[in-house]
Amino acid sequence: MKIVVCIKQVPDTTEIKIDPKTGTLIRDGVPSIMNPDDKSGLEMALQLKDENGAHVTVITMGPPQADLILREAYAMGVDRAIHLTDRKFAGADTLATSHALAGALRKIDFDLLITGRQAIDGDTAQVGPQIAEHLDLPQVSYLQDLKFDGVKTFTMKRHIEEGYQMLEVDAPCVVTVLSSANKARYMSVGGIVDAYQKEVEVWGFNEIEVDEANLGLKGSPTSVYKAFARGLKPAGELYEVETDEAVGIIINKLKEKFILN
């Protein structure tokens, strides 16, 4: 089986803080990581490889420093790494990003394409299904687990609000994986050393199959009209009183807000 996994380098959003004076993001010193959902997607691919044997390719689109997560993927055990980077891709929204990735994927033969459900910097959950559409492949999102019958059929467990669904789909197909699906393996020590000797293929616009009009800023139907830090609301009233009085204050507040009559 041939598997491709799309991964993205993201700032660790749990480490991001807002400058209270300027209201802007402080990105200095914020570590870049492999997006958690993608990493679980990669782990899922490597488990399939462990169980059935598979060839696993990772692909990322991003600036030069995104090379780091491709090396990390090598150290975890992938067979091939592709770095998609070109000025023509810059300024892309989700749709333009999905077109660029689909353009690259048209050049790669695969049975299963795995993406993370969503990336922690944008949380949109759009790129996976959009790639599936461009490639005219079926999709299953919010994946928790999958089994391969060894021939051509996957049985999939998809998370939904009230529980889960079991679905069946034949290869080739696209899945988007939840970070809760598994616990990704660590890089092996030998793997880390080797990772820097392995080749990362760098692809640009000329290497992929896509209409240029669909790329980058020009190919992006959405744009940011404005961005702002979420305003902190002013602190409310604070009382340090006896229990009976405190309860009275609460009840008055509920009446004031028409929650109680």
Partner 1 sequence: MNLEEYKGIYVFIEQREGEIQNVAFELLGQARKLADQLNDKVYAMLFGHKIADKANALITHGADEVLLVDAPELKDYTTEPYAQAICQIIRERKPESLLIGATTIGRDLGPRVSARVGTGLTADCTKIEIGEKGEMLMTRPAFGGNLMATIICKNHRPQMGTVRPGVLFAMDADASRKGEIVNYEVKFDASKFRVKLLETVKEESDLIDITEAKILVSGGRGIGNKEGFTAMDGLAKTLDAEVSASRAMVDAGYIGHERQVGQTGKTVRPDLYFAFGISGAIQHVAGMEDSDLIIAVNKDKYAPIFQVADLGIVGDAKQIISKLTERLEK
Give residues 106-135 in contact with partner 1 (rule: CB under 8 A).
Answer: 120-130, 132-134
Asked if 93 interacts with partner 1 (CB under 8 A), we say: yes
Q: From the list 65, 197, 206, 243, which residue makes contact with partner 1 (rule: CB under 8 A)?
A: 243
Asked if 233 interacts with partner 1 (CB under 8 A), we say: yes
Asked if 140 interacts with partner 1 (CB under 8 A), we say: yes
Q: Give the nearer residue to partner 1 in terms of CB position, either 46 or 102.
A: 102
Asked if 240 interacts with partner 1 (CB under 8 A), we say: yes
At residue 119's C-alpha, the angle toward residues 113 and 120, to 5°, is 160
Asked if 211 interacts with partner 1 (CB under 8 A), we say: no
Question: Tokens representing 42?
Answer: 């990669």
Asked if 246 interacts with partner 1 (CB under 8 A), we say: yes
Asked if 21 interacts with partner 1 (CB under 8 A), we say: no
Check the CA dihedral 59-99-53-142 and report its sign: positive
Cα end-to-end span (Å), the chain: 65
Asked if 78 interacts with partner 1 (CB under 8 A), we say: no
Q: Give the nearer residue to partner 1 in terms of CB position, either 199 or 240.
A: 240
The single residue listed with the structure tokens 């090379």 is 67
Q: Give the nearer residue to partner 1 in terms of CB position, either 193 or 250.
A: 250
Rule CB under 8 A: which of 164-183 touch partner 1? 164-170, 173
Q: Are the CB atoms for 9 and 68 separated by under 8 Å?
A: yes
Q: Give the nearer residue to partner 1 in terms of CB position, either 56 or 214.
A: 214
Contacts of 184 (CB under 8 A, 6+ apart): 39, 40, 42, 43, 76
Asked if 67 interacts with partner 1 (CB under 8 A), we say: no
Rounded to whole angstroms, the Cα distance separating 153 from 161 reads 25
Cβ of residue 126: shortest distance to partner 1, in angstroms? 4
Contacts of 230 (CB under 8 A, 6+ apart): 18
Q: Give the nearer residue to partner 1 in terms of CB position, either 123 or 209.
A: 123
The single residue listed with the structure tokens 């598994």 is 182
Residue length of the chain: 261
Asked if 32 interacts with partner 1 (CB under 8 A), we say: no
In sequence order, what E strands does 50-138 have? 55-61, 80-84, 112-116
Q: Give the nearer residue to partner 1 in terms of CB position, either 74 or 179.
A: 179
Only one of the segments 67-75, 161-169, 185-193, 194-202 lies at the binding site for partner 1 (rule: CB under 8 A); that segment is: 161-169
Residue 112, number of CB atoms within 10 A of its CB: 24
- Specify the amino acid at residue 248: G
Number of residues located near partner 1, criterion CB under 8 A: 77
Check the CA dihedral 184-196-80-107 and report its sign: positive
Asked if 71 interacts with partner 1 (CB under 8 A), we say: no
Cβ of residue 233: shortest distance to partner 1, in angstroms? 7
